[in-house]
Amino acid sequence: MNTKLGRRDLIRASLAAAGAGAILTASPQTVMAAESTPSVPENTTILFQGDSITDAGRDRKNQSTNNARGLGNGYPVLIAGKLLSAHPESKLTIHNRGISGHKVPDLAARWQKDCLDLKPDVLSILIGVNDIWHKLNGRYDGTVADYETGYEALLQQTQAALPKTRIIICEPFVLRCGAINDKWFPEFDERRAVAKKLADKMKLDFVPFQTMFDEAVDLAPPQYWAADGVHPTLAGHALMAKKWLEVFYQA
Q: In the annotation, is 102 catalytic?
A: no
User: Is 124 among the catalytic positions?
Assistant: no
Q: DSSP string covering 40-58, please? A: --TT-EEEEEESHHHHTT-
Out of 39, 55, 95, 231, the active site residue is 231
The residue from 52, 95, 131, 237 that is catalytic is: 52
What is the C-alpha separation between 186 and 171, in angstroms, rounded?
A: 16
Q: Is position 85 annotated as part of the catalytic site?
A: no
Does residue 186 have a cis peptide bond before it, meaning omega lies within 30 degrees of 0? yes
Query: Alpha-carbon distance 23 to 39, whole Å?
Result: 14
Helices (H), the chain: 7-25, 28-36, 52-55, 68-71, 75-86, 104-114, 129-136, 144-161, 187-201, 209-216, 222-225, 234-249
Which are the catalytic amino acids?
52, 228, 231
